[in-house]
Each structure stands twice: as C-alpha cells, then as structure tokens.
Structure 1
Amino acid sequence: MKMQTAQTRILAVDDNEAALYATSRVLKKAGFAVIEATTGEQALEIIRRERPPVVVLDVNLPGISGIEVCRRIKQDPDTRSTMVLQTSATSTAVHDRVEALVAGADTFLIEPVEQEELEAVVRALLRLHKSESTLRATLAERNLLLREINHRIKNSLQLVTSILNLQSQEFTDPQARQRFQHAVSRVMAIASVHERLYQDEDPLTVAMDEYISGLCAGLTNASILDPSRTNISVEVEPVRLPTEVAVPVALIVNELVTNALKYAQPPEGRGAIKVSLVRLPPDELKLTIADNGKGAATETKEQSGLGRRLVNTFVRQLAGRVATHSSANGYEVVIVFPEQAVTAWRPES
C-alpha cells in the first residue's frame, strides 16, 4: 500500500493542533510527505508554491475560511487541478456540506475520520488527479495537432486565393471579374475561419463576435465600392460555434453582405448594413442581415442565382429556416437555427 507514495506531498490544513497532528500522523504512516498549515492564507501560499496534488482542508479556519480557500483554489487556473478533501467536526449539516461542494470541494468527510477511510479517500483523490493530469496532457497534444492542421488548411486556402486573384486579372469584362472575386471571397471566408481556429486557445470553436466583425471589415475593404458610402454595423452575442457550424454561418454572412454591398445602395445618402447574431429562447440562434437599400426588387435578382442557392444549402446544413422581409426602407434576411450544436468551452489549466 505504501509503494510509490513516499514522494507524494499532501497538504493538511487545520488550526486545531490536535486535529492537525492526528491527520498528519495518519498520512505519514500511509507513506505520504505531509506539509502542514494552520491558516487559509498559509494554505494558499503553500499550494501556489508547492502544488500538492491533494489538500485535506478544515472548514473552520481563522481569517479565510476553508470553504473560501477551496473556492480560490478552484478559481485559479494554476491550482484548480488540486484535489480538495474538505473536513469538519462542527460544520456537518447538509447545507454546510453542500456549500463546500458547491465551492469546489471534491469530497467532504465529517470528523473524526477513521484512519482507513482517510487514507482510502486520499488515495482515491490521487488516482483522480493522475487521471485528470493524463487527460489534460492528451488534450494539450490534440489541441496542438488541431492548431497545426488549421494552420496548414489556412495556408493552403490562402495560396488558392492568391492564385485565383492573379487569374482574375485576365478578365476584361468588369462583371465577370466581379463574379470571380465573389468566388474568391467565399474561399477567403473559409480560410479566415481556420485562421481564427489556429490563433485561438480553443482549436475547435470560433468566437463569432470577433470573427463576424473581422469578416465584415474585410468585405468592406475588398469591395469595389467606396467604403465611405456604406456603413456595416455588427452586433453579435459572445457565442462560440464549432467548426462545422461556423463555416456555413461564415459563408452565409459572406454571401448576404457581399450582395448587400453591391445592390443595397440607397438612391441618396449612405448605405447601412446591419449584421446580428443573437440567442432566441430556449435553444436557437438568429442571424440577421439587413440593409437600407431599395428592397427585394434589385437584390433578389442576384440572389435568385448561385448566391441564393448557396445560402439555402448552408441553411439546410444548419437545420435552420430562412425568412426575408422587403420594404421601401430596405431588405432583411433572417435565419434561425438550433443552438444544440454550439459548444461551450473553457480553457483547462
């Protein structure tokens, strides 16, 4: 039972000298190296410096309580992997134990604790800590591989766009060149998704607020129209979408904003395009692209062709639905799709 535990350090925290001695004695007898602390402040300092895998932490401490110490351990990315065994001889009611577990404790024992139980629980927490460490290492390797894949895809697509841009110079017909550049923008929209994935800490999902803002800015700069004549406003909630959802959303925005830039200029004044992505209760997202142009008569002429077919294809990929609204004040496309595919992500320590 004591094999391979002599170098494993366990932090025992208790302001009661007798209780601290008893806990330390059991752990030392089991073959662990024990570090002792009598206050929450001391415990936090030792944890940051020594990084013990397990902390046996009393609830009632002078100054910072054991529950608050646990909360701070779990909130700090550098220490959140530490396993916390919360103990108490006085705060033993259900609400006390629930409070400790909500704060992040991995388990709770009521004192006095039998020697065999304390040793068994500490060993179980060590196994859990080792398993989580292995998973984090595997995840880090996978993320590194995914970043490299996204980097290579992005570079390949950028090479394709460069070749296509050179080829577009061969067109003498302005309309043909414009259509070709529109095709190039579709490739660039996909490339920019993979660029975001490569640059982000999370290589699986895209922060859509940052991405759509950058995409719209790029479309404005690339437009053959005077950028000063059209204003694009972007209102996107901070939502992350997995790659398989982000790509069709990006291509939809690319199609509709490009179309609006070309066809939605009002007779007088400055053009205005609004792009928004918001949540709809209980579990949907709504993408809206609206402009203040002449309405559907002009815009749907282009959208009835390849662009419209592409948008409808991407909407089907999202298992969504699309609606259009036209008036003398402009044209609006609303796409609603389920949020079930959206991935919530938090960085691991």
Structure 2
Amino acid sequence: MTDKGGIGAQQYQIPPPKTQGAATGGQQLSATATQFVDKIDPFSKRGTSKRRRRLVNSSRYHPDSEPELTQLQLIKDAPATEQSGLVIQKLQQCQKIFDFYDPVAQLKSKEIKRAALNELIDHITTVKGAITELIYPEVIKMVSKNIFRVLPPSDNSEFDPEEDEPTLELVYELFLRFLESPDFQATVGKKYIDQRFVLNLLDLFDSEDPRERDFLKTVLHRIYGKFLGLRAFIRKQINNMFLSFVFETDSFNGVGELLEILGSIINGFALPLKQEHKVFLVKVLLPLHKPRCLSLYHAQCSKNFSLLIASYNSLKKDSTLTPQVFDALLKFWPRTCSAKE
C-alpha cells in the first residue's frame, strides 16, 4: 500500500476502536472481538454492506414464496429415450437464481441446482451424442439467466471471492464443455449465440472477479474459433471497448484478458495485412500505452502485449509499420512511465 497522504503528510495517531456504547449496539466486546475490530476498514465494510443489500433485494432471485425445486431422477439411471428430456428439465431447474447471502433460505433448492450442474457437466463430457438440437436453446437460456447481470459498481475494496453465487463457476464450466464437445454444431449454435449474446459476454469482462474473467476469456476464444460470422463483430467490439477505455473511462478490469485473446487472433492474420488490421495497431493497440493505469494490465500480460506488437514485425507481416510503432511508443510511454523517457 502506498502512502496516500503524500510527501510531508503529518503523522497522527488513529484512535482505538470503541468496544462499548452506541458504536457496538450497546454490547461490550470481548478481547477477541476487540482485536477483530482493529482490522476492520469501515469504508470497505460499508461498501460491501451496501452491495449485499442490493443483492439481497435483487429481482433475479427465486422468490421464497415459490415452491422448492424437485429432485429429479439421475440422467444415467433413466432410459436412453428419456435422457434428453431429463437433461432439458434439469437445465430449466438451473435457470433459477438463489440468494446465497441468506445461508438458511431454500437450502434444498440450492443443493439440487448444484448437483444438477455437476451432473450435466459429467453427462455432456462423457456421453457421446449427449448434445441434441433440442438442448441448444435451453443451455443458452440457462447460461444467460445465470451470468448476464448488471455488475455492481466498484467500491474500491479488495475483491471478495464469496461475492458471486457459488454455482456461477459451474455454469461457466458447463458452457465451456458444451462449446468444446465434439457433438457441438456451430450451424445450430449460431441460432442462439448471436451478436447480442456476444455483447453481453463482453460487458462481463469488467467483472472484479479474475476467475470469471478467465472463464470469459476462454469462452469468447471458443466462440471466435467456431463462429466465423461473428469474428469481425468481435474484433470491432473489442476495438470499441479499448477506445472507450483509453480515451473516456480510464477504467476497465478486462484489458489483460482481451489482449490475450487478441494475441491469438493477430497470429492468425493472413498476408498481406488488411487495412483494418493496420488501423487497429496504430489507432487502438498502441494507444493502450497511454492510460495511467498501464502497469495494472501490462504486468498481467506483458508477454502477450509484447506478442501483439511482435506479430507485426518479428513475423514479417508488415515491416513498413515499424516506424509508426516506435513513434507511438515514444509518444505514449513517457506519459505513464517517466523513467522510460
């Protein structure tokens, strides 16, 4: 942590936390509790409390007034003719979102959903022909309802790995197994994985959870590889996100992950380079050296970031771009790192 007081900031004593009175609800705190209070950042806790209140009141959650989920038969125990229908039923059950901030609410339903997701992952991975045309819309609908949401504003506190619903990771895992399955057909999937779906995925790259961003990176890379009709759209939207980050917001959590995706994309560019690709390098990629928060994503993906530029030069894709690369680096780098000037 850096000293936010700046040079010459005066030293002062932080008063000890109150262990009794109104600040503690009228209760006398024990010695252990007193030690715990010492470690509390009131601003961080206040922000987290506000976020939790927003989440508890979210309309996404399955209301308590509705009945609990029903335990269904195991897919492997059902006759082969009934397994596809059972898969659809379980996918529909997994569309329900539960409030995991309430540890005692709907425990049965939460466990049924978790078990169903694990079972579906195993079924899609191990059973040949498990992915039929009928389950495509149900998978996309289930994934959309679970992962697409309005991300809470950053409260400048450290990320809490327990913030998101515990089953979210299982949903991403199921979607990845679905996309990577030998049974997956892009000709069928393109009916449901469209530009709107991709836009919603890209919005999630601003998540504070690095685990979620890592899943998103892999998912988007698989979609880019399987859906040729979406490739130009994905590149264009990533360009727009970078331009907004550099020239408008100066804040975006997923820069590193998107750069890793672009590292693979650029390596696949055919010769001669299209004008679109040259413009991307000069107008979008190189200005990423400009933001003050460069170090946050440069340290994360320095190898990949260097790879992006090297793709144009080391691979001899277009050596005429070399002067523009050096001019841009000399222009932008000193603004964020004077030691390099």
The TM-score bracket by the shorter chain reads: under 0.3
Q: So what's the TM-score if we normalise by structure 2?
A: 0.24
Q: So what's the TM-score if we normalise by structure 1?
A: 0.23
More strand by share: 1
Larger Rg computed on CA atoms: 1
More helix by share: 2
